[in-house]
Structure 1
Amino acid sequence: MKRSKQWDVRGAVGFAAFFHFLYSCATGCLLPFLTLYLRHLGLTAVMTGTIMAVKHLVALAWRPLSCILARRHNKRRTVITGSLVCSAAVALTLLLFPPTGNSTENKSCNISQLNNVPTTLRPRTTLQKFSPSVRYSAEHTINPIQKHNSTEYISAVPVNISTLHNNQSTAETTTSSRSDGKNSSDVQKPSAGKRSRSLMKREQKQEKITKIQYQFLESLKVMDTQQQMFFFIMMIMILWEILAAPLTWAADDGLHEYLDFVDATERHRAVKPWKLLGAAGGIGCSGILVSVLYCLIGTVLHFYAYALLMGLAVPLAALLPLYRHKREHVPGAGVKALQLVRGDSQAMLCAITAVLTGMAGSAVSDFLLWQLQDHNATELQMGIIMAVVPLCQAAFAPLNGCLSRLLKFHGRLLPLAILGLSLQCLSYSFLQTPWTILPSQVLAGISIGALWWSLEAQSADIASPGTELAVKRVFEGLYLDLGAGLGSVAGGFVVQKFGINTLFQGTAAVLGLWCVTLAMLQWRIPRQRRINYSRLLAADASEMSESESEQDNDWLEKAMEEDKGNNNWRRLD
């Protein structure tokens, strides 16, 4: 007899939690510090905000589409493995760009220590000097930002190789004609004509090849070095996000369908705290390691740690519990989820709240490290300060059950969460020393945890069967992608125009105004009560009609009598 397949639900959830812990640890090593590295490369606040905004908007459009394609073709495991390998490789290409702005060299490093370190391990804080044989355009001038920088700057302008080749070829022909002037009478005129024709054809072919090869670089002559770097980093970030975006949703979809097949979807929420713990561990450990080893390898350790942990997660992807239902999938779950959110007034308020808080969170996370760096904070302080937020979110997760029993309506906690985020942003604008920001980070972690609890409870209220995960991802996309993209663009322009303190104060004012508006709208909009089926099943018998109770009692007594009769018959037999 063929044995039935065993489903180890606890082991599957534990293995998936360990995979997400490792992946979140990898992203925590690099992504929170990415804007700081872009500042080290010399990009302005507007450029940094634009790059981060494009990253979020690409994820907003590509992540759902890629997950649909992965499920339709049953290639989730291939997508996850390819995303791990390729995203790590693309992230390392950012190390090829030399800095063009102010140096972020750590003042605690001793020059004698740097001299004793091999040149391959020294942090690159200045631009590489190019060979003097390369010709530069005399018309290229240094912009005011480059003049203000203290680092040595040499502009690298693309050289027209075709003109150099033509000059070299003409020089060779003239020298050869001079040296062979005495024997010119011995050479026949037809052979000289053939050589000149072949030489002209070769030169024309070479000109066409060089024109095609350097046509793209010729179009960038109007840009300075900073703009060229911004353009190339933008393309790398788009490619990076295209490769990395499908990973989390593909893994979550496979695990959710795996648990749905065995009727254990409630276990899926046990993975989220491990994601938060992994992010906190990656941020804190990378900050400590970079602070200790800064004099040896500099800030590139963030990229190496990211690539290493992504490589360690590749073998785990081969064993990740994934399942695809053979039955027909419910079509248009995402469209139905959007319709459910749009058709409920309370859900629309939560959607607007998700966008506004996403904008505030992105603006804070993008430029908070810039402010800490202006206050002479080390990588160790930055890592510990940034790791407090996901750590408090993970500590807030076990309180979900208590809050659901204590609060009759989850919307009451939503204004309090927004108020906490507003106070957090306001405290950032009065920062004096790095360690004074720790209470604000604790408040931010609790507020974000309360915000997500309210959004998840709202998604559970309006979701229809089969759309629970889709409705939840609508709020997730509004917060992490749409709101974060808009916040990065707006934050970059505000920092460039008015400064970081103005950004934090303006964000606090907007959140405070929406907190009051949301409380008033929730009070005016009627709230639909959710049907509690467990209470209906446990209803008192007195609420039922006498005929129904008599029928139920008769049915139960008959079943008990038949069971007794069968047992007595077995004993006599």
Structure 2
Amino acid sequence: MSEQWDVGRALALSGLFRALQGAGRACASPFLTLYLRHLGLSAPLVGLAAGAQRLAAALCAPLCARCPRAGGRRRLLVAGAALGSVGAGLLLTLVPPAAAGTLGNDTQQPGHRAAAAAGPPPGTSSYGVLSTSAVTNAKAVSKEALKTTAGGLIASGKATLSSPAFQGSFGLTDVVEKQGRGGGEGGTKTNGYLGGPSGWTPPVTAVNWETQEPEMPIFLMVLGAVVLWELLGTSLEWTVDESLYEFLDFVDATDGYGKLWIWSYLGASVGACSVAVVVDHLNCVFSSSITRLAVHFYGYALLVMLSLLVTIFFPIHLPKESSHVNRTGKALALLRGDGRAMLYAATVLLTGAAGAAGHNFLFWQLEDRGSGELYMGLSVAVGLLAEMLLYFFKGKLLRTFSSSTIVAISLSLLAAQLLCYSFLWTAWSVLLIQTLSAFSSGALWWVVSMTVDDIATPGTARSLHAVLQGLCHGGGASLGSFAGGFVVEHFGLAVLYRACCVCLVLWLFLFLIVQSKLPQQKKINYSRLLAADSSDGSDSDEENERDWLVKAMKDESFSRSWSHQHGIN
């Protein structure tokens, strides 16, 4: 029955599924490290959690390839993965905050340990007290001192103790008083959440230090929830994507598959901006254990459940072969056998590490600049939309510039992007910097895809893409996340960005040197050969001369004839 499906309808459903999944992912994933910061985890632990998440995503595809392929079982796997990912995401909202001594890590001046007992200065966030802009890495502040400070502030009623890191499940209980709508101190109107403009300030609350938990047990709970969340979410996307591709391949209609990523980008752009607007304008704590930041995961849960409804109508074609082929191993063997592919794989790994190290803590940087979540959501959308816009000029750019030139430009702009992050002067400037993502991310993958097409043998193209995107880029992002947290802890965010910039510049020079030493040879693309329609051939000598396959066969025949005539075996 599935073979009789209309291809247009299948592609439309797939576009809708990708849009919903992209929106759901963008509601939560970009904001995860910010959420963990507000839970009170230190930068190294946040980096470890982010790295584990990316590593889980990188290893998910090889694991999913061994899952049962029967139609009923596959649909059951999709439903289970969707429900499980929703549950794991919601589980993160129930994790209690870490100990007070770990809250408020300083990302600007490492080693500085101080707590501000006064309200925010004019023109800054109304969350200046016990927030990242006022409590810079309060690890050295004792629990008793902070309790005394909190009690004095509540008694005087002159300051606001409602940092996002301390609301609801982040450690704030017992609302003492609520301020009406109006400007912040110094006559400057501030957003009670992260300092963005609005017309209200948050309620004053007291900190119940006895409810705080030690940092390491909280980290272990977060780590388990994050890894489970990523494994289930990625397996859901992989299973649906693989089912669709098998169906399209069966009906010989895979041409439309290559442009479905646009729907993911559009959905992610809308999702990131929408949830940021909602969170920025919420002025309430839902309960003593649920805060506004939980809206990110509620949005994810809602959108994933909607995407699950779409999968009910998806076609599932079951391939006839039942033997499991180690496609990942074949893809790795192809990469090892081609010097240019190995060079691009190393480039992908390095850019994944540098990009993840920078973006994991970008929202920390924005928060320290007094940004609201709106700028954070817009930064995600601007980067994705810039890649989409540049895609329309893909053909012209690939004809104008060589592959090595495009890679060099991409590396240069990614280095410039990270360098600009280290000098981030205001929150809105991140929107200008994010436009560089069009080349630093999008154009780089054009060249990688071309390389895959050149070296792929029949049936290995998708496996090669999975290896480069998953193992190489995902593995690099995992390593970058692990190292990035420790660099932020001991040296600060600015040093992290500049170190990544220097590494990319050094790799750029090495890339150009190695690229010039590689043999400039044209490989036969067997995948395109088999995809070509043999019925379009012509008996005319002129058209045969245009066919590169005929030329290759003639050259080989001539070589054998010449070798035979000269007695060469």
Change (3 A) 1:4 1:499: closer
For structure 1, the 5+ residue unaligned runs are 116-121, 130-149, 158-223, 546-573
Question: Equivalent of 2:318, from 298, 321, 324?
Answer: 324
Are 2:208 and 1:239 equivalent residues in the alignment? no
SS in 2 for 1:377: coil
- Report the equivalent of 1:387: 381
Matched, 1:154 2:246: no
Aligned with residue 412 of structure 2, among 419, 430, 438: 419
Find the partner of 2:393 among 399, 404, 408: 399
Q: 1:236 to 1:452 in 2, by over 3 A?
A: same
Number of the residue aligned with 1:183:
none
Partner of 1:52: 50
Q: Aligned match of 1:256 in 241, 245, 249?
A: 245
Partner residue of 2:256 out of 230, 251, 267: 267
Partner of 1:79: 77
Partner of 1:132: none
Find out whether 1:43 has 2:41 as its counterpart.
yes
Q: Displacement, 1:389?
A: 1.0
Q: Which amino acid in the other structure matches residue 276 of structure 1?
A: Y
Deviation for aligned residue 1:322: 2.7
State the match for 2:371 in structure 1.
377
Max Rg structure: 1
SS of 1:529's equivalent in the other structure is: coil
Which of 436, 439, 464 is the aligned partner of 1:446? 439
C-alpha change, 1:63 and 1:531, in structure 2 (3 Å) is closer
- Residues 156 and 245 from structure 1, CA distance in 2 versus in 1: closer, same or farther, beyond 3 angstroms? same
The aligned residue for residue 410 of structure 1 is 403
2:173–2:206 contact (8 Å) kept in structure 1? no
Separation (CA, whole Å) in 2 of partners of 1:66 and 1:353: 26
Quick one: percent identity of the two aligned structures?
35
Larger CA deviation: 276-285 vs 487-496? 276-285
1:465 shift after superposition: 0.7
Tell me, yes or no, if the aligned pair for 1:26 and 1:282 is still in contact at 8 Å: yes
Segment drifting more, 526-535 vs 440-449: 526-535
Q: Does 1:6 align with 2:4?
A: yes
Equivalent position to 1:465, from 458, 463, 466: 458
Q: Offset of 1:268 from its aligned partner?
A: 1.2
Contact 2:94 2:169 in 1 (8 A): no
CA contact (8 A) 1:103 1:151 kept: no
* Structure 1 Cα separation of the partners of residues 430 and 2 of structure 2: 56
Write the distance in 2 (CA, Å) between the matches of 1:5 and 1:46: 51
2:494 to 484, 492, 501: 501
- Which amino acid in structure 2 is aligned with residue 541 of structure 1? D
User: Against the structure 1 CA distance between its residues 4 and 301, is the aligned structure 2 distance closer, same or farther, given a 3 Å change threshold?
Assistant: closer
Task: Find out whether 1:541 has 2:535 as its counterpart.
Answer: no
Partner of 1:126: 171
User: What is the distance in 1 between the residues matched to 2:505 and 2:404?
Assistant: 17
The amino acid that maps onto 1:152 is V
User: Separation in 1 of the partners of 2:362 and 2:75?
Assistant: 36
Change (3 A) 1:393 1:538: farther
Supply the distance in 2 between the matched residues of 1:353 and 1:229 (Cα, whole angstroms): 35
C-alpha deviation, 1:97, in angstroms: 2.5
Q: Which has the higher contact order (CA 8 A, sep 6+)?
A: 1
User: In the aligned structure 1, how far is the partner of 2:358 from the partner of 2:540?
Assistant: 53
CA distance in 2, matches of 1:397, 1:528: 27
Structure 2 partner of 1:189: none
The answer on whether the counterparts of 2:369 and 2:427 sit within 8 Å (CA) in structure 1 is yes
Give the AA of the match of 1:353.
T
Q: Is 1:279–2:300 an aligned residue pair?
A: no
Q: Bigger shift: 54-63 or 336-345?
A: 54-63
- Secondary structure of the residue aligned to 2:171 is coil
For structure 2, list consecutive stretches of 5 or more residues without a partner in the other structure.
106-119, 129-153, 161-166, 175-204, 287-291, 546-569
Q: Corresponding residue for 1:191?
A: none
Whole-angstrom distance in 1 between the partners of 2:538 and 2:408 = 34
Q: Matched residue of 2:23: which SS?
A: helix
Equivalent AA in structure 1 for residue 411 of structure 2: I
Cα distance in 1 for residues equivalent to 2:540 and 2:409:
37
Cα separation, 1, equivalents of 2:424 and 2:466: 35
Matched, 1:512 2:505: yes
Calculate the TM-score normalised by the size of structure 1: 0.72
Distance 1:236 1:335, change over 3 A: same
| Maintained 8 Å contact 2:95/2:221 | no
Partners of 2:328 and 2:445 in 1: how far apart? Answer: 20
AA matched with 1:246: S
CA distance in 2, matches of 1:59, 1:5: 31
Letter in 2 for 1:434: A
- Alignment pair present for 1:290 and 2:279: yes
Higher helix share: 1
- The residue type paired with residue 395 of structure 1 is L
Q: Is the 8 A contact 1:287 1:383 kept in 2?
A: yes
Deviation, 1:457, is: 1.1
**Greater CA drift, 229-238 or 492-501:** 229-238
Is the CA contact (8 Å cut-off) linking 1:59 and 1:241 kept in structure 2?
yes
More moved, 472-481 vs 455-464: 472-481
Distance of aligned partners of 1:406 and 1:516 in 2 relative to their CA distance in 1, 3 Å threshold: same
Kept in 1: contact 2:3–2:251 (CA 8 A): no
Task: Give the 3 Å change call, closer, same or farther, for CA 397–255 of structure 1 in structure 2.
Answer: farther
How far has the Cα of 1:273 moved from its partner? Answer: 1.1
Deviation digits for residues 91-124 of structure 1, max 9, x if unmatched?
1112222334447997289x99xx9xxxxxx855
Q: Which amino acid aligns with 1:393?
A: E
Q: Which moved more, 1:529-538 or 1:343-352?
A: 529-538
2:21 aligned with 1:23? yes
When residues 76 and 48 of structure 1 are mapped into structure 2, their CA distance, relative to the original with a 3 A threshold, is same
In structure 2, the CA distance between the partners of 1:239 and 1:544, relative to structure 1 (3 Å rule), is closer
Distance in 2 between the 1:515 and 1:65 partners? 34
C-alpha root-mean-square deviation of aligned residues, in Å?
A: 3.1
Q: Deviations over 1:195-243 (max 9, x none)?
A: xxxxxxxxxxxxxxxxxxxxxxxxxxxxx71122112211222222332
Instruction: Show the counterpart of 1:205.
Output: none
Is the Cα–Cα contact under 8 Å of residues 155 and 225 in structure 1 kept in the other structure?
Answer: no
Q: Which SS does the other structure have where 1:322 is aligned?
A: coil
Q: Which of 225, 231, 239 is matched with 2:214 structurally?
A: 225
C-alpha distance in 1 between matches for 2:232 and 2:476: 21
SS in 2 for 1:71: coil
- Residues 292 and 517 (structure 1), Cα distance of their counterparts in 2 relative to 1, 3 Å cut: same
Deviation at 1:320, TM superposition (A): 1.9
Amino acid at match of 1:285: S
Measured in 1, the distance between the counterparts of 2:276 and 2:96 equals 22
Contact 2:59 2:471 in 1 (8 A): no
* 1:73-152 superposed matches below 5 A: 75-100=73-98, 101=100, 102=103, 107=126, 123-127=168-172, 152=207
Query: How many residues get paired?
Result: 448
Change (3 A) 1:397 1:8: farther
Partner of 1:358, secondary structure, is helix
8 Å CA contact 2:3, 2:317 repeated in 1: no
Cα separation, partners in 2 of 1:515 and 1:291, compared to 1, 3 Å: same
